[in-house]
Amino acid sequence: MFENLEYKKNGYDLTMEELKKFTSFCLALKKSGIRTRMIFRGENYQSLKEKLSLSGDNDFNKLNSLIFLIGEKGRVYRKEYKNKILNKKKIHSIDSVEIALFKYIFKKTNSILIKNKDRKEISHFIQTNKKLNQYFSNKENVKDFTNKISILKTKDDKIKIRDYYLSLLHQIGGIGFYNNSFFLSTSKDIKIAEKFASNNNNSEKIIFISWVNYPINRIGVNLNYLNNFKKNLDDIGLPSYSKSFFPKQNEISIKGGLLPQYILGYIRPERNELIINPNFFTTEKEFRQIIKYGFEIDQSNFNNAIIETDYTGYFILDENDRYRDIN
């Protein structure tokens, strides 16, 4: 599956037995009968050091122990951004459907479309999505927007619409849902992920490999889901969009972040190495169970480990696919 890479675990080459098991699992991901999608996230070592509060140089053993225990999380869980977040507990939690959050969505979208309309990607977005632009560019429509949200019968319905618009604000970066975002950007294209792993400080690139099971909208948002969701918006009289700001990035915005049990490993491109999640080799479940529920991980030290990092909290996804923040 990953050609020309050396497969490693905990700094050592795989044994023949481990290599056989790993390659068999990669094949099972394609042929299990469970619809899956491989996703990739580009990062760099310096950024990961800051997230995980690592002080040593090239301490990949410590990085591995943390990444494969706590995973990767959205900016809203970082101490670095904590002081920049307004009313986080009230409106920016992963399970929030507060009307204040929908007002924020409207006002932020309005601001982007009006104040940044001359930016190339926004100008193109406006031309492609004229109805949405017309609706959100009129400040008077904020009441109509919140009224239509208020009459929805279930929290799940509100969350779907929230994620539909918030994922758009997440993808536009710093002028959008940036410091507040509980989404984590990934791509279906490994080349796009490697591009985002590039940085100005020449820090080593890291490309995370994970997978998601269908339907993707249970844990993330992608273009197919957005396109299929248009009828829901039409039914309540809200505008949809046909393309995001950066459609070529093939983004899947993952809610909360990458759970460690679904992280297959990460690539170090400069070294041609694939570092495999060691929990894979200690998991005794059948491949179909792993694909559906992830690796078995001993997280008894999770709380002690995360408190030493730059994360202020985390999220949980229960057996009913419902999210909740833990702070």
pLDDT by residue (tens digit) across 218-245?
788 877 777 788 888 999 999 999 878 8
Identify the DSSP state of 119.
S
Would you say residue 3 has pLDDT above 60? yes
pLDDT of residue 225: 76
Q: Which two tokens stand for residue 101?
A: 């959050």
Mean pLDDT, rounded, for 31-43: 90
Per residue in 100-119, pLDDT (tens digit) is 999 999 999 999 999 988 99
321 within some domain: no
- pTM of the predicted protein model: 0.91
In contact, 187 and 254? CB cutoff 8 Å = no
Would you say residue 57 has pLDDT above 90? no
232 within some domain: yes
219 within some domain: yes
pLDDT of residue 254: 94
pLDDT of residue 84: 52
**Which of 21-25, 178-182, 304-308 has the least mean pLDDT?**
178-182
Structure-model confidence comparison of residues 159 and 225, the more confident one = 159
Identify the DSSP state of 84.
T
In contact, 114 and 108? CB cutoff 8 Å = no
d(CA 171, CA 178): 8
216 within some domain: yes
In contact, 19 and 276? CB cutoff 8 Å = no
Would you say residue 89 has pLDDT above 60? no
Mean pLDDT, rounded, for 172-190: 87
In contact, 11 and 277? CB cutoff 8 Å = no
Per residue in 253-293, pLDDT (tens digit) is 999 999 999 999 999 999 999 999 999 999 999 999 999 99
1 within some domain: no
pLDDT of residue 82: 58
pLDDT of residue 80: 67
Distances (CA, A) of 97 to 68, 74, 91: 31, 18, 7
Distances (CA, A) of 309 to 98, 209, 227: 29, 22, 38
Q: What is the mean pLDDT of the chain?
A: 89
What domain range is 279 assigned to?
6-313
**Which of 76-80, 82-86, 144-148 has the least mean pLDDT?**
82-86
Would you say residue 179 has pLDDT above 90? no
DSSP sequence for 56-78? STT-HHHHHHHHHHH-EE-GGGB
Give the CA angle between residues 179, 183, 188 to the nearest 5°. Answer: 130
Q: Is 23 exposed, middle or buried (0-12, 13-18, 19+ CB in 10 A)?
A: middle
pLDDT-derived band at 26, boundaries 50, 70, 90: very high
Nearest to 326 by CA among 305, 309, 303: 303
In contact, 130 and 138? CB cutoff 8 Å = no
CA atoms within 13 A on the CB side of 58: 4
Would you say residue 81 has pLDDT above 90? no
pLDDT of residue 322: 84
Would you say residue 88 has pLDDT above 80? no
Structurally, how many domains does the chain consist of? Answer: 1
Helix (H) or strand (E) holding 99: helix 99-115
323 within some domain: no
Peptide bond into 239 cis (omega under 30): no
d(CA 151, CA 158): 10
Would you say residue 173 has pLDDT above 90? no
238 within some domain: yes
Residue 120 CB neighbours (<10 A):
8
pLDDT-derived band at 1, boundaries 50, 70, 90: low
318 within some domain: no
d(CA 96, CA 158): 9
Dihedral of the alpha carbons of 201, 52, 298, 1, in degrees to the nearest 10: -10
Q: What are the helix (H) ranges across 203-316?
A: 223-228, 230-236, 279-282, 287-293, 302-306
